[in-house]
Amino acid sequence: TPSVLPTTIYIANKDNPPQSVFKIGNTGLPFDATGDYFKANVMNFALGGAFNSRLNLNLREEKGFTYGIRSGFQGTKYPGTYTIGASVRRTATDSSITEVMREIKEYKEKGLTDEEVAFTRNSILNSEALRYESPFQKAMFLSRIVQYDLPTDFTIKQAQILKDMTKEDMNALAKKYLNPDTMVILVVGNKYTLKDKLEKLGYGKIKDVDLE
């Protein structure tokens, strides 16, 4: 279950780093090849799971804050996490976090566009055909079948789920699993130059953490 604590920013000090690094996230879901874990990652694809996602188009292409930003659900047999991560220009640390939180809220509240639904479906379906071509990919694919006792045709089931998922399904998953009000924001950067700016974002007092 998601943390009940309100969104809080933690900072780990690093003197004079070339960039700030942040991770934003909360509790996610256990791995499930055909359940909500798979569907939630489908939902997230247009937000932060692809190069042409909202987060990357905003922070990389439009604003030039980062070389790349991704978000996604990771899980094993136990509930994992939902995280958004990036390295950003030091001077754009607070602006980047503002933009990420705005994008998550908007995605949760307003949902996906028809174009994003089509982009998600086409991109994932087309990538599946190429995913298991190398020996390493085949080995990973087989180990996952063994580890989670999956049926060997689970990718066919995933493709069918993807074809059947509607915009309403994706929007409902966004509402259920994106929780911008209960997230942990961890920043690694120079706390002496960042702390005041981060406190102005309105998430309360910044908490110090040690990297060691």
- Encode pLDDT of 111-141 as tens digits: 999 999 999 999 999 886 557 677 887 888 8
Q: Is the pLDDT of residue 1 over 80?
A: no
Query: Of the ranges 17-31, 90-104, 140-154, which one carries the lowest mean pLDDT score?
Result: 140-154
* CA-CA-CA-CA dihedral for 180, 181, 185, 190, to nearest 10: 110
Average model confidence (pLDDT) for the chain?
Answer: 93
Residue 44 structure tokens:
């997230």
Q: What burial letters (b/e) apply to 73-91, b meaning 16+ CB within 10 Å?
A: bebeeeebebbbbbbbeee
CA 133 from chain center: how many Å? Answer: 26
68, 56 Cβ separation under 8 angstroms: yes
Order of strands, sheet of 184-189, starting from the edge strand that comes earlier in the sequence = 66-74, 81-89, 19-27, 184-189, 8-13, 207-209
pLDDT of residue 130: 57
pLDDT, tens digit (0-9, with 9 covering 90-100), for 56-85: 999 999 999 999 999 999 999 999 999 999
Query: Of the ranges 62-71, 127-136, 158-167, 172-181, which one carries the lowest mean pLDDT score?
Result: 127-136
pLDDT of residue 4: 67
Percentage of residues in the chain with pLDDT exceeding 70?
A: 95
pTM above 0.85, yes or no: yes
pLDDT, mean of residues 178-194 = 97
